[in-house]
């Protein structure tokens, strides 16, 4: 994947949970009493990753990859690891973003929940026809607010076509169910690859 608009693909969800809280002792402002406050630690998906997931993530940092694994092997967690590792490029106040594409509304919502549970990133969810009615200013606000945008490919294609979104802004682009990006297809995945990446798709 590298620092440019990297691409990878994932095909199923692996939920992660990092809800451990540390109790810290601190003095109140007037110094008269001691109180306990809860502080949530930073979410680090590497702590539960398997070696092959870390290896594939490392490879994806260097080049565009297609991850092909059996169901249940944690392909989504590889994407989560990749987002984490590229955080220095997409965490605010950086202007770059990560886009996670999923072909259905259900998958968009599902994958967004996984990312939110696994990482400390601002995640925006975009699906449905009403999203296409957003103005340029609306999208400027969304891009200012969110670091990871999970959406259907139709929405990304619409925004690219209307110049609401530019490829150069995307530090990481993830395709869920990437088999839809076939040369003879008119699926939005294929259109994104053919028109905007100027490349043949398998």
Amino acid 5: pLDDT: 53
Note whether residue 201 is domain-resident: no
Top pLDDT among 13 and 127 is at 127
Domain ranges, residue 136: 6-196
Q: Is 110 helix (H, G, I), strand (E, B) or coil?
A: helix
Residue 202, domain member (yes or no): no
Is 1 within the bounds of a domain?
Answer: no
In sequence order, what DSSP letters do the residues of 147-198 get, joined into one string?
Answer: SEEEE-HHHHHHHHHTTSS-GGGEEEEEEETGGG--TT--SHHHHIIIIIS-
On whether the pTM is more than 0.85, the answer is no
Give 96-135 pLDDT, tens digit per residue.
999 999 999 999 999 999 999 999 999 999 998 777 788 9
* pLDDT tops 60 at residue 48: yes
Average pLDDT over residues 52-58: 96
Q: Is residue 10 part of a domain?
A: yes
Mean pLDDT of the chain: 81
pLDDT above 80 for 188:
yes
Q: Locate 107 and state its tokens.
A: 């998958």
What CATH number corresponds to the domain at position 57? 3.40.50.300
Task: Report the number of distinct structural domains present in the chain.
Answer: 1
Report whether pLDDT(9) > 60.
Answer: no
State how beta strands 6-10 and 170-176 pair.
parallel
Low-confidence winner among 8-17, 46-55, 57-66 (lowest mean pLDDT):
8-17
Residue 89 lies in a domain: yes
**Average pLDDT of 130-156?**
92
Portion of the chain with pLDDT greater than 70, in percent: 77
Q: What is the mean pLDDT of residues 82-88?
A: 96
For residue 183, tell me if it sits in a domain.
yes
């Amino acid at each position: 994947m590298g620092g440019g608009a990297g691409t990878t693909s994932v095909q199923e969800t692996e939920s992660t949970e990092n809800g451990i809280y540390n109790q810290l002792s601190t003095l109140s402002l007037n110094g008269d009493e001691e109180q306990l406050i809860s502080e949530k630690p930073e979410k680090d998906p590497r702590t539960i990753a398997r070696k092959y997931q870390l290896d594939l993530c490392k490879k994806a940092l260097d080049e565009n990859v297609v991850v092909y694994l059996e169901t249940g092997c944690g392909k989504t967690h590889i994407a989560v690891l990749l987002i984490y590792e590229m955080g220095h490029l997409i965490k605010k106040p950086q202007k770059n973003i990560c886009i996670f594409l999923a072909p259905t509304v259900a998958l968009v919502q599902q994958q967004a929940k996984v990312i939110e549970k696994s990482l400390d990133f601002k995640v925006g969810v975009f699906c449905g026809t009403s999203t296409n009615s957003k103005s340029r200013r609306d999208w400027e606000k969304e891009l200012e607010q969110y670091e990871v945008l999970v959406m259907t490919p139709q929405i990304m294609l619409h925004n690219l076509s209307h110049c609401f979104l530019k490829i150069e802004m995307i530090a990481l682009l993830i395709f869920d169910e990437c088999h839809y990006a076939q040369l003879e297809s008119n699926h939005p995945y294929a259109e994104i690859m053919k028109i905007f990446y100027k490349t043949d798709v398998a």
